[in-house]
Amino acid sequence: MQRVKKSRTENFYDRIADVHNFALKLNGYRRSVAKYLRSLNLGIDENSLVLDAGSGTGIVALGFQSAGFKPRKMIALDLSRNSLKVARDQFKKDKKTNARNISPVQGNVLSLPFSDNSFDLVLSCGVLEYVPLDAGLAEMARVLKHGAKLVFIPVKPSLVGSMLEILYKFKTHPLSEVRNTAQRYFKIVGSHEFPFTEPISWSKRVFLLEKI
């Protein structure tokens, strides 16, 4: 069987998975995400199915677990096999995480390998900067149930965001474009600026979106 050639993004994150994960842990991303998610009424229960789209090494999925949510199943999807390996190892070692309920899946956010209207919640952080924004949001809307939410954490235009563009080889979407594009598929029901004392605030913000 012929092996499919890796994309540039997949190859890049396969090479930096461990270093990238260390940087996110050092900057307290998990704690910041967990604190924000605890403030929300997401309607997640033991029957819910949750997707972390572009999960990387699992920091957002771990933040979701730290926030105390207990869905029936969580899927961590990413393009990078090595990132998913790091994520799987962290899920198994973390005492607050039920690793048996999290399934790492290799896949592309522009072609999610799931049926329409499958998920009760989608989380996505720092991945749609690699793809056309409209196509990415449309695909996430496709797999969400009607009225279900997307917790969307894009990179925001900033000095740190510009530095990350160079380091991680992506393109930040202007916030006006994020809002306008999101409203084609979602109702914007909330937005959040992380406190400046939290490093995640230097490059990210949150939009809480509800599928229409």
Report the C-alpha gap between 192 and 7 in whole angstroms: 33
Q: What is the overall mean pLDDT for the chain? A: 95
Has residue 41 got a pLDDT over 70? yes
Model pLDDT for residues 53-70, shown as the tens digit of each residue: 999 999 999 999 999 999
Model pLDDT for residues 142-198, shown as the tens digit of each residue: 999 999 999 999 999 999 999 999 999 999 999 999 999 999 999 999 999 999 999
Say if strands 119-125 and 144-153 run parallel, antiparallel, or are unpaired: parallel
The partner residues of 1 in beta bridges, in order of sequence, read none
Residue of 43, 42, 10, 51 whose CA lies nearest to 140: 51
Torsion, Cα of 89, 93, 98, 101 (10° steps): 10
Residue 207's alpha-carbon distances to 37, 117, 139, 180, 192, in angstroms, are: 12, 20, 17, 12, 7
Model pLDDT for residues 76-103, shown as the tens digit of each residue: 999 999 999 999 999 999 988 999 999 9
CATH numbers and ranges of domains, the chain: 8-211 (3.40.50.150)
Residue 2 pLDDT class (50, 70, 90 cuts): very low
Residue 7 pLDDT class (50, 70, 90 cuts): confident
pLDDT at 63: 97
Identity (one letter) of the amino acid at 181? T
Looking up tokens 């771990």, which residue turns up? 62
